[in-house]
Chains A and B, each alone.
Chain A
Amino acid sequence: GQQLNQSPQSMFIQEGEDVSMNCTSSSIFNTWLWYKQEPGEGPVLLIALYKAGELTSNGRLTAQFGITRKDSFLNISASIPSDVGIYFCAGRSVSGGTSYGKLTFGQGTILTVHP
C-alpha cells in the first residue's frame, strides 16, 4: 500500500528558531495536507495543497507541494511555545475507486519549543 515517510520524528528547538519538516511518498499524490495535533485533541488542518509546485502560507507556516508530486514540506518561522504539538502530513492519491477520499498519513513530527 501507499506509504508516507515523515521526518524528522521529533524536534527540540529554542523559541524563535525556524522549523522544517517533510514527507515523501512512494506514489504520486494529488493533494497534500498538513495537520497539527495538540495533546488530547483531534488534528486540525493547517494548510492544503492541490497543485504540484504550489507554495502556500498560513501566518508563520509555509508549505509546498513538491514538483514530483511525491513530497511536501512544512516550514514554521520564528517558532513560539504554542507551536508545540504533533505535525502530520497527509496525502491523497491520484487513483480513485475504493481509495476515494482516503488519506494516507505520515507518522508525525513531535515538536517541542523551549522558551
Chain B
Amino acid sequence: SQTIHQWPATLVQPVGSPLSLECTVEGTSNPNLYWYRQAAGRGLQLLFYSIGIDQISSEVPQNLSASRPQDRQFILSSKKLLLSDSGFYLCAWNRGTEAFFGQGTRLTVV
C-alpha cells in the first residue's frame, strides 16, 4: 500500500533562517506531488505541484521554492523565512483522481 511521510511535524524558526521540509511517498511510482499551505485552520492554498523529477510548477509568487530530486521525494525550501511564512504545510500525492495527504508540518516563524 502507498504511504506518505512528511517531516518534521512541528518547527519553530527565526525570521531570516532557511527552511527545508521533506516529503516522501512509498509504494507507488511517478506520483504527482503537491505542497499546500493552510493558514488559520481553513482553506488549502496550493503552492507547488510536480508531475515528475525536476518538473515543478509554482502556483503563487512567494518566498518559497520546491524541488523534486527523486521520483518520490518533494522538498519545500526557503533561503530566508518571513513571519508571513508561518502556517500549516501539507504535502500530498496522487496518480489518479484521488489525492492523499501527509500529516502536515506546523511552521512557526518567530
Contacts and interface: CB of A to CB of B under 8 A. Distances in A.
B104 A101 contact: no
Contacts of B43: 105-108
A9 B102 CA distance: 24
A86 B51 contact: no
B82 interface: no
Interface in A29-79: 30-31, 33, 35, 39-45, 48, 50
Contacts of B98: 33, 45, 48
A88 B102 contact: no
B46 A41 contact: no
Interface in B52-88: 57
Given A100-B51, A101-B51, A102-B49, A33 B99 contact: yes
Nearest to B59: A102
Contact of A107 (B42, B95, B103): B42
Given A88-B44, A98-B57, A108-B43, A103 B103 contact: no
Interface of B: 6, 32, 34, 41-44, 46, 49, 51, 57, 90, 92, 94-95, 97-104, 106
